[in-house]
Amino acid sequence: MEKTTSFIPMPLGISDFPTLRERGCYFVDKTHVIRDLYTRRHMVTLFTRPRRFGKTLTLSMIASFFDITKKDRVQELFAGTTIADDAEMMKEAGTRPVVMISLKDVTEATPDRILRLLGMLVSMTYKSYDFLLNDNCLSNDEKKIFQRILANKAQREELALSVKLLTTFLHRYYGKRPILFIDEYDAPIQCAWEHHCYDEVMSFFRPFFSSAFKDNPSLDSAVLTGVLRIAKESIFSGLNNLVVSSVLSGGYRDAFGFTKEEVTLLSQKLGYTDKLSELAEWYDGYNFQGIEIYNPWSVLNYFDQDCKPRAYWMNTSSNSILHDLLTHADRRRYEEIDRLMKGGSIVTPLTDGIIYQNIGAMRTALWSVMLYTGYLKCTETMDEDELPQYVLSIPNHEIRSVYRTEILQSLDDGTGNTEAALYDMLQAMITGDTALFEENLQDLLLRSMSYHDTAKTPEAFYHGLMLGFTLYYEHRYRTQSNRESGYGRFDLAMFPKKANLPGVLLEFKAAETPDALRSSAAEAFTQIADKSYLTEFRAQNVTDVWCYGIAFCGKQVMIKNA
């Protein structure tokens, strides 16, 4: 269907509200958030939503409304919006000093580089207020500190207090307490976790944040955005005035992302109402406190790319948390991922505040992170003995494709050939070419695993690894793991979704030594017949089945199928 209206530029890559308005880009009116925020009057508000859901643009919009330096532009910037019709709120427009800092790019690999980058960022922020140096509101000693921060020569302690100092100086100059906005507050902390320098980086950011927010007499209020709520004891110790709005609670349900009504209106304006079902399949499915939400970044890209459905969200930033999950996944987690990818769900309690060190160790922390970062949605809450249980599932087709891609990347050795190697292995497996199957599986083991991965429960590790491999063929096979059949439980079975494909049954053994590989593979293969594992295949009318006994020892493997 051709467009029936004139071209409307999509605001892709534009997160600055004044720039968006000046360029005449399409704007989904979220100005009611300003009224909600002002009415609630909370001292510190933290918005946590997945990346690319409009947090930065919304923060810029709120800051632009209150910014005293933009007082003469408020009418122009907000013309035609909901809040422009609110006479009482418009009296508050342009009445506050504003400090806005984005930490989204403070993502270096070492603590020193993170602090150097932060120092440059704070220096640029201070540059916007260098007029304070010409005013008597600062003492001579304060001017010296200001100049050191401005020149990016501040001591570590001065940098840690830099935001609090700036709010103090602005309060004196204007006689009004400023509003502080910090965007993507958790970006450097997640980066530090990824690069194994979490504790050192956290030792700086604790005073950086607490000095600005806790008992700061010069602060009117503060608004933060991020992907995760980091546990208070980790970063916000003693901050009792923090109110959190997340995907599960805290209000502001439609403040981020596009509602169904907003997507429908945009489709109508562009003349693409026939694409609504495709949009829903690919980008809908999020549930923010009971409101149906679409991924705004993907919706805008979809229209900008002439309605070509793609996983636009996947490459917008690091998927390191999902990658880490898949790299170290055991059998249970891969079984849960398998269930999710097939359209099923998992039931789990969730962790309110995230402690990064626990992400991999605690199941609740893991699935909490997956929910808050946008890889899962909550479809139901069940109260069981005062401990809520949450039903989680994959939101849409786009995210399902992200899982599949990340399974490959979690195995990648940097050569870029992992997908081809995995495809060759699976093709050999379903055609009965045991020698090639073994050769390619051996290659993948060398690429993707460490001896340390198998230290605790080797057979469970290999089981999970093979389940992860088979998920690559989820469009062709329905995989079942550790299910009853005959007189026991098979390890892994692949039931074809198409009549012309054979079934596959895999039984695993962990050999204690390389010399025991052959006998262990033979034992695994014999077990298939002895336990009548093919019973389930016969029940499903699958008569052509390749059976393999597979033995592992460290990075070595041996396969028997006859």
Quick one: how far is CA 290 from the chain centroid?
Answer: 20
Quick one: how far is CA 459 from the chain centroid?
Answer: 30
- C-alpha 479/C-alpha 354 separation (Å) is 32
What's residue 495's pLDDT? 95
Q: Which residues contact 100 (CB under 8 A, 6 or more apart)?
A: 59, 60, 63, 180, 181, 182, 183
pLDDT in tens, 179-197: 999 999 999 988 898 888 9
Any idea which of 31-35, 230-234, 389-393, 401-405 has the lowest mean pLDDT? 230-234
- Mean pLDDT, rounded, for 454-462: 68
- C-alpha 270/C-alpha 234 separation (Å) is 46
pLDDT in tens, 161-180: 999 999 999 999 999 999 99
What's residue 241's pLDDT? 74
Assign 3-class secondary structure to 449-501: CCHHHHCCCHHHHHHHHHHHHHHHHCCCEEEEECCEECCEECCEEEEECCCCC
- Mean pLDDT, rounded, for 132-151: 96
- Mean pLDDT, rounded, for 416-432: 83
What's residue 25's pLDDT? 93
pLDDT at position 381 over 70 = yes
Quick one: how far is CA 390 from the chain centroid?
Answer: 18
pLDDT in tens, 42-94: 999 999 999 999 999 999 999 999 999 999 999 999 999 999 999 999 999 99
- C-alpha 143/C-alpha 501 separation (Å) is 76
pLDDT in tens, 251-297: 999 999 999 999 999 999 999 999 999 999 999 999 999 999 999 99
What's residue 426's pLDDT? 92
Confidence of residue 354 (pLDDT cuts 50, 70, 90): confident
Measured from the Cβ of residue 247, the count of other Cβ atoms closer than 10 Å reads: 25
What's residue 536's pLDDT? 92
**Percent of the chain clearing pLDDT 70 (strictly above):** 89
Confidence of residue 131 (pLDDT cuts 50, 70, 90): very high
- C-alpha 129/C-alpha 123 separation (Å) is 10
What's residue 361's pLDDT? 63
**Percent of the chain clearing pLDDT 90 (strictly above):** 67
When the pLDDT of each residue in the chain is averaged and rounded to a whole number, the result is: 88
Q: What is the DSSP letter of 96?
A: B
Q: Tokens 């998920």 map to which residue?
A: 471
Confidence of residue 431 (pLDDT cuts 50, 70, 90): very high
Q: What is the DSSP letter of 136?
A: T
For the chain, domain boundaries: 32-245, 258-304, 320-400, 413-560
- C-alpha 264/C-alpha 543 separation (Å) is 48
- Residue 245: beta bridge partners? 47
Residues, the chain:
562
- C-alpha 202/C-alpha 195 separation (Å) is 13
Report CA dihedral (474, 430, 405, 294) to the nearest 10 degrees: -20
CB 494 within 8 A of CB 473: yes
What's residue 452's pLDDT? 44
Quick one: fold of 32-245? Rossmann fold (3.40.50)
Q: Which residues contact 205 (CB under 8 A, 6 or more apart)?
A: 188, 189, 235
Any idea which of 50-59, 70-79, 116-125, 447-456 has the lowest mean pLDDT? 447-456
What's residue 249's pLDDT? 93
- Mean pLDDT, rounded, for 89-102: 97
- Mean pLDDT, rounded, for 440-451: 75
DSSP per-residue codes, 22-38: HTT------THHHHHHH
Strand arrangement of the beta sheet that strand 377-384 belongs to? 346-348, 387-393, 377-384
Question: Token pair of 274, please?
Answer: 């026939």
What's residue 2's pLDDT? 45
Q: What is the DSSP letter of 486?
A: T
Task: Please report, for residues 207, 361, 523, the alpha-carbon distance to residue 333 in angstroms, rounded to integers and kept in the order given.
Answer: 37, 12, 26
pTM, 2 dp: 0.82
